Amino acid sequence: MATAEQVKTLIKSHFDSDPDRFSTIALQIAAHEARQGHSDVANEIRIIIDHAKNKPVRITFHRELEDLVLETEPHNRFNELVVSDSLKNRIQRILREYQQQHKLKKHGIGHRRKLLLAGPPGTGKTMTASIIAKQLSLPFYTILMDKLVTKYMGETSAKLRQIFDLIDRQKGVYLFDEFDAIGAERGLENDVGEMRRVLNAFLQFIEHDKSDSLIVAATNNLTLLDQALFRRFDDVLHYKLPTLKEATLLIDNRIGTFKGEFSSEKIAKKAIKLSQGEIAQACDDAIKETILSDKQKVTEELILAMLKDRTDAYGNRVK
Ligand SMILES: Nc1ncnc2c1ncn2[C@@H]1O[C@H](COP(=O)(O)OP(=O)(O)OP(=O)(O)O)[C@@H](O)[C@H]1O
Ligand SMILES: [Mg+2]
């Protein structure tokens, strides 16, 4: 059985709407059960958590848009995001302007609501869009840009128009995720023309949008975009791989109560050139492995092994 403390924290995290804390406690309960020899219960708890975490909810507004727009529950919190202070300030400015838009409106000034997030994979772009939705209590929609091109080739502009109609009708945070991936789609490698066309249509819709929604475009590759296009966005945020200090903080945040006797900074030094996403995944893997082997604390060796797994999977980037 879970301890009274765990049950209390579990209940509190539910009423605080803190699903991450909820999952962490649930995992601790699973670990506790595993240590008692109840590995079936431990496994069942883990499966429930995994399942809940990976469950995007499909929306059904619009028959034609069903497979192009996904609604997911935003669960990331601002304090989980590990980025530079200046980036944090800029995100906070976006939130503040939204929350006090009426003040700006009185003076005929619009708040920042068309955002371009650029940076390497796994540095927090999607997470930021989800945080903005969560902090502003707005629904969070992701537009599947690759599908828009592959499945609706030739009618992409018409589909985009429908999407922007939706943006106008239904207030929310709309993430056009990895819209640079359009060009990398199989079969389209050489079709730069189609990609350009879609991109241009997209940017025109953005320019003309006067909705109350926030539009977030995320890209790994700014060089694909014409510098002149940036003016269509109210803000361009640049994401970077973590500094040593940021990687250390991320490891501490992520390992949380599972932390054993080790220096996170020493480990972070081995994670040079890995993204926040890769480091977070290595930490999660280390926690899982700890639970599976009925241990209570994550060890230095285990995290290093998991980081190495990441590096091996993504190329030889850890020294
Ligand atoms: N800056 C960060 N701070 C804390 N955790 C992060 C950060 N960046 C990424 N993560 C972790 O990695 C996961 C994946 O990150 P995310 O999807 O936001 O990356 P991305 O920049 O959108 O990457 P991609 O370009 O591949 O879409 C997040 O859900 C989070 O767990
Ligand atoms: Mg992303």
Q: What is the pLDDT of residue 56?
A: 59
d(CA 134, ligand 2 centre) in Å: 16
Q: Could you identify the atom of ligand 1 that is nearest to the CA of residue 278? A: 12
Question: How far apart, in whole angstroms, are the C-alpha atoms of residue 93 and residue 128?
Answer: 13
Tell me the average pLDDT across 11-35: 79
Strands 235-238 and 114-118: parallel
More confident site: 220 or 276: 276
Question: How far apart, in whole angstroms, are the C-alpha atoms of residue 269 and residue 273?
Answer: 10
Question: What confidence tens digit (pLDDT) does each residue in 139-157 have?
Answer: 999 998 877 777 777 777 7
DSSP letter string over 251-286? Answer: HHHHHGGGB-SS-HHHHHHTTTT--HHHHHHHHHHH
Give me the sheet containing 173-176, strands edge to edge.
Answer: 57-58, 69-72, 140-143, 173-176, 214-219, 114-118, 235-238
Tell me the average pLDDT across 56-71: 69
Which range of 67-76, 188-197, 242-251, 309-318 scores highest in mean pLDDT? It is 242-251
Tell me the average pLDDT across 25-47: 82
Tell me the average pLDDT across 79-91: 95
The candidate with the shortest Cα–Cα distance to 199, out of 234, 151, 149, is 149
pLDDT at 186 over 60: no
More confident site: 274 or 52: 274
Lookup result for tokens 């003076």: 107
Question: Which residue of 86, 126, 177 sits with most ligand 1 atoms within 8 Å of its CB, as the best mutation to test the pocket?
Answer: 126
Lookup result for tokens 């590990």: 82
More confident site: 45 or 58: 45
| Residue nearest to ligand 1 atom 30, measured at CA | 277
Question: Which residue of 224, 276, 283, 284 sits with most ligand 1 atoms within 8 Å of its CB, as the best mutation to test the pocket?
Answer: 276
Confidence band, pLDDT 50/70/90 cuts, at residue 188: very low
Domain boundaries, the chain: 1-55, 57-238, 242-319
Q: Could you identify the atom of ligand 1 that is nearest to the CA of residue 250? A: 4
Question: What confidence tens digit (pLDDT) does each residue in 105-135 have?
Answer: 999 999 999 999 999 999 999 999 999 999 9
Q: What is the pLDDT of residue 285?
A: 92
Lookup result for tokens 């992409």: 156
Q: What is the pLDDT of residue 194?
A: 65
Question: Which residue of 87, 90, 123, 284 sits with most ligand 1 atoms within 8 Å of its CB, as the best mutation to test the pocket?
Answer: 123
Question: Which residue of 78, 127, 275 sits with most ligand 1 atoms within 8 Å of its CB, as the best mutation to test the pocket?
Answer: 127
Question: How far apart, in whole angstroms, are the C-alpha atoms of residue 224 and residue 232?
Answer: 15
Q: What is the pLDDT of residue 102?
A: 94
CB 172 within 8 A of CB 133: yes
Ligand nearest to the CA of 119: 1
| Ligand 1 pocket, CB under 6 A | 80-83, 121-127, 178, 218, 220, 239, 250, 276-277, 280
Confidence band, pLDDT 50/70/90 cuts, at residue 183: very low
Question: What is the CATH code of the structural domain delimited by 242-319?
Answer: 1.10.8
Question: What confidence tens digit (pLDDT) does each residue in 225-244 have?
Answer: 666 567 789 999 999 999 99
Which range of 41-45, 46-50, 176-180, 305-309 scores highest in mean pLDDT? It is 305-309
Identify the weakest region by mean pLDDT among 160-164, 189-193, 217-221.
Answer: 189-193
pTM for this predicted structure: 0.80
d(CA 277, ligand 1 centre) in Å: 5
Q: What is the pLDDT of residue 187?
A: 45
Confidence band, pLDDT 50/70/90 cuts, at residue 184: very low
Instruction: Tell me which fold the domain 57-238 belongs to.
Output: Rossmann fold (3.40.50)
Residue 61 neighbours by CB distance under 10 Å: 13
d(CA 122, ligand 1 centre) in Å: 4
Question: How far apart, in whole angstroms, are the C-alpha atoms of residue 10 and residue 15?
Answer: 9
Ligand nearest to the CA of 53: 1
Tokens of 190: 């050489």
Lookup result for tokens 């202070």: 85
The candidate with the shortest Cα–Cα distance to 128, out of 118, 167, 207, 148, is 118
d(CA 28, ligand 2 centre) in Å: 29
